[in-house]
Amino acid sequence: MRASAEQVLGLDERGLVAVPGCGDAVRRLHPLVLKDFIAFRERCAQHGVNLAIASSFRGFDQQLAIWNQKMRGERPIYDDNAEIIDIRHLSDADKLPYILRWTALPGCSRHHWGSDIDVYDLSAMAEGYRLQLVPAEYAADGPFERLGRLLNSWFDEKEGYGGFYRPFSVDSGGVAFEPWHISHIVTADAHSQALSPGMVKSYLAKTDIAGRAAILENFEEIWRRFVV
Ligand SMILES: [Zn+2]
């Protein structure tokens, strides 16, 4: 398969398919991913985990809205201990590393590809619990400890399992460790091969992204450190 520039940047939603069994939520994936995801979910069920999707396909505009809210201080930004950090007093350039640790630059999100999925265990969610997607939730004594252990046992030793792998499995100072983020290998590879810094930079220059000047000025460093 080949991915077009529009597909890579999250600008083409044609061809996505809805995942069955997500209740009222509409969760969409690339069609190549669906069968493997359903099989993966069944394997989780065999271990007592009701695998649910927090996020699957996310288009450019959706990522841009999240990004802009974070840059403008309208949406919380967490540190590694799940504490909210106040970045409002920082310059745009100084805000970037805090935001990029957990939030992809629009155009660079693996969620644009329909290949990547954030998962949690619906059966372990207490009534009224608000999902945060922080590592502590998947660690010992976290609500999703069982799922966390299961994913570690499948992914720690092997590169891939059931067609998926975890791209953010080690924290080397860029994007944080995201135990909940799984990626469909074949589909993600096709998109990542088509992704280039020039493509993203020239598209961002045309948008109303918050912090645009700082992003374009620091683009090469952002790319090196935070784009996978
Ligand atoms: Zn994710």
- Distance between CA atoms of 184 and 18, rounded to whole angstroms? 16
Q: pLDDT value at position 176?
A: 83
- Distance between CA atoms of 2 and 187, rounded to whole angstroms? 9
- Distance between CA atoms of 8 and 199, rounded to whole angstroms? 10
CA dihedral 140, 133, 170, 6 (to 10 degrees): 160
Q: pLDDT value at position 172?
A: 78
pLDDT at 95 over 80: yes
| Per-residue CA distances from 196 to 116, 200, 227 (Å) | 19, 7, 10
CA of 111 to the centre of ligand 1 (A): 6
| Per-residue CA distances from 198 to 9, 92, 112, 132, 216 (Å) | 12, 22, 17, 33, 11
163 in Cβ contact with 36 (< 8 Å): yes
194 in Cβ contact with 2 (< 8 Å): yes
Output 157-161 pairs: Cβ under 8 A, ≥24 positions apart. Answer: 160/185
CA of 59 to the centre of ligand 1 (A): 13
Instruction: Output DSSP code: residue 119.
Output: E
Q: pTM score, two decimals?
A: 0.93
- Distance between CA atoms of 27 and 59, rounded to whole angstroms? 12
Residues by chain with Cβ below 5 Å of ion ligand 1:
118, 181
Which pLDDT band holds residue 80 (cuts at 50, 70, 90)?
confident
Q: pLDDT value at position 52?
A: 98
H/E element, 182: strand 181-184
- Tell how far CA 114 is from the center of its chain: 11
pLDDT at 228 over 70: no
Encoded tokens for 223? 């790319």
CA of 118 to the centre of ligand 1 (A): 5
pLDDT at 189 over 90: yes
Q: pLDDT value at position 159?
A: 77
The CATH number given to 1-59+109-193 is 3.30.1380.10
H/E element, 40: helix 31-46
For residue 17, list its beta bridge partners.
Answer: 29
Q: Domain ranges for the chain, please list them.
A: 1-59+109-193, 61-107+196-228
Amino acid at 29: L
Which pLDDT band holds residue 59 (cuts at 50, 70, 90)?
very high
Q: pLDDT value at position 1?
A: 84
Say which residue, 169 or 126, is predicted with more confidence.
126
Task: Output phi, psi for 161, to 5 deg.
Answer: -150, 125
CA of 55 to the centre of ligand 1 (A): 7
52 in Cβ contact with 105 (< 8 Å): no
Encoded tokens for 107? 């155009």
CA of 189 to the centre of ligand 1 (A): 16
